[in-house]
Amino acid sequence: KQWYQRRVAITAGILGGGIASMFFMFVLTAIGNLEGIMMGKGFELQLIPEVAFSLVLSLVVAGSIHRVSITCCVIFSLVILYFMNSISQKTHGVSEAAPTKLEKKKRR
């Protein structure tokens, strides 16, 4: 009986972390859409205010489910953030610094 309860608790923690990481994705998308409407289409999400706020909010949700859910939520959210970033770069182009102009040396 004890083994079964422990297994159910761990399974609930992992499942709770997955659900909370999906909540992270939805909150981050909602914030990005709201900022896109308010500040224009060219606005990008930043790491510190928007992503950190969404992650903390999802960790609070995960913590209300189970302690194991917090750790799983962090791992799953970082994986989701990586794939969201790669999809965004493929769709909207790479946002890098402008390339510097190389000067050619003249031969004498």
pLDDT at 32: 92
Tell me how far apart the alpha carbons of residues 54 and 76 are, in angstroms, rounded to a whole number: 13
Of 66, 72, 76, give the one whose Cα is nearest residue 25. 76
**pLDDT above 90: percentage of residues in the chain:** 56
pLDDT (tens digit, 9 = 90+) per residue, 31-40?
A: 999 999 999 8
Q: Averaged over 57-61, what is the pLDDT?
A: 97
pLDDT at 29: 95
Question: How far is CA 34 from each of CA 30, 31, 58, 84, 88, rounded to the nearest angstrom?
Answer: 6, 5, 18, 17, 17
Say if residues 23 and 77 touch (Cβ distance below 8 Å): no
Q: Averaged over 38-49, what is the pLDDT?
A: 86
Q: Averaged over 10-34, what is the pLDDT?
A: 94
pTM above 0.75, yes or no: yes
Q: Averaged over 89-97, what is the pLDDT?
A: 74
Say if residues 13 and 72 touch (Cβ distance below 8 Å): yes
Indicate the pLDDT class of residue 3, thresholds 50, 70 and 90: confident
Question: In the Cβ-directed half-sphere of 66, how many Cα atoms lie within 13 Å?
Answer: 18
Q: Estimate the share of the chain in helix, then strand, then coil, as percent rounded to the nearest 5.
A: 75, 0, 25
- Of residues 84 and 43, more confidence is placed in 84
Q: Averaged over 80-108, what is the pLDDT?
A: 76
DSSP state of 23: H
